[in-house]
Amino acid sequence: MILLKFFILGVLSALVFPPFFMLPLGFIIFPYIIILLSKIHINKNFLYYFSIGFFYGLGFLFVFLSWVINPFLINQQTENFAIIGIVLPIFLSLFFGLGFYAYKYITKVYYLLIFTPFIFLFIEFFISNTFYGFPWVTYSLVLSNNLLGFYLLKFFGIYVSSYLVLFFFISPFLFINLTKLEYKKVLIFIIHLPFLIVVILFLIINPNKKEQSKIISLELVQILSPINKPDKILIEKEIIRKIKNSDAEYLVFGENNYPFLIQDFNLLNIVKFIKDKQKVIIGSSRLNNGKYFNSFLFLEKNNIQIFDKEILVPFGEFLPFRKYLKFMEEITGSTDFSSGNKKRLVRDNNINILPIICYEIIFNKIFKKINTNKIDILINITNDSWFGNRVGPYQHFYHSRMRALVSNKLLVRVSNNGISAVIDNNGKILKSSKLNIKTSFTQLVQLKSTTYHSLVHKLFIFYLILIILIYFTLIKYKSKYDK
Q: pLDDT (tens digit, 9 = 90+) per residue, 343-398?
A: 999 999 889 999 999 999 999 899 988 888 889 999 999 999 888 888 999 999 99
Other CB atoms closer than 10 Å to residue 39's CB: what's the count?
A: 8
Residue 202 confidence (pLDDT): 55
Whether residues 285 and 363 share a domain: the answer is: yes
In this predicted structure, what is the pLDDT of residue 185?
55
Task: Summarize pLDDT for 324-348 with one digit per residue, the tens.
Answer: 777 677 666 778 899 999 999 999 9
56 φ, ψ (degrees, to nearest 5) = -60, -50
Instruction: Tell me: do 155 and 170 sit in the same domain.
Output: yes
Question: What's residue 452's pLDDT?
Answer: 65
Predicted pLDDT of residue 450: 73
* pLDDT, average across residues 149-155: 84
User: Does 198 lie in the same domain as 100?
Assistant: yes
Higher pLDDT, residue 420 or 448:
420
Domain count, the chain: 2
245-300 pLDDT, tens digit per residue, is 999 999 999 999 999 999 999 889 999 999 999 999 999 999 999 999 999 999 99
Q: Is 57 in the same domain as 108?
A: yes
pLDDT higher at 83 or 195 = 83
Separation of alpha carbons 155 and 139, rounded Å: 16
pTM above threshold 0.75: yes
Residue 480: is its pLDDT beyond 60? no
| Residue 171 binned pLDDT confidence (cut-offs 50, 70, 90) | confident
- pLDDT single digits (tens) 218-246: 999 999 876 666 788 999 999 999 999 99
Co-location of 219 and 185 in the same domain = no
Q: What is the pLDDT of residues 61-108, one digit of tens each?
A: 999 999 998 887 777 777 777 777 888 999 999 999 999 999 988 877
Are residues 200 and 225 part of one domain?
Answer: no
The residue-averaged pLDDT of 166-188 equals 69
Q: Are residues 223 and 200 in the same domain?
A: no
According to the model, what pLDDT value does residue 198 have?
60
Looking at the fold, whether 112 and 236 belong to one and the same domain comes out as: no
Interacting residues of 319 by C-beta distance below 8 A, sequence separation 6+: 325, 328, 329, 332, 336
Q: Residue 331: what pLDDT?
A: 67
Pair (113, 26) in one structural domain: yes
Q: Are 113 and 54 members of one domain?
A: yes
Distance of alpha carbon 387 from alpha carbon 67, whole angstroms: 6
Q: Which range (152-156, 180-184, 209-213, 418-422) has the least confidence?
A: 180-184
Query: What's the CATH number where 300 sits?
Result: 3.60.110.10
Instruction: Report whether 214 contacts 349 (CB < 8 A).
Output: no
The pLDDT, as a whole number, for residue 108 is: 78
342 and 466 in a common domain: no
Report the distance separating Cα 178 and Cα 184, nearest Å: 7
Are residues 227 and 254 both part of a single domain? yes
**Is residue 182's pLDDT more than 70?**
no
> Would the pLDDT of 181 be above 50?
no
Write out the residue range of the structural domain in which residue 390 sits.
213-452
Report the C-alpha gap between 472 and 467 in whole angstroms. 9
Q: What is the pLDDT of residues 436-478, one digit of tens each?
A: 999 999 999 998 777 765 555 556 666 666 666 666 665 565 5
178 vs 124, which has greater pLDDT? 124
208: confidence class by pLDDT, cuts 50, 70, 90 = very low
Q: Please give the share of the chain, as a percent, with pLDDT higher than 70.
A: 83
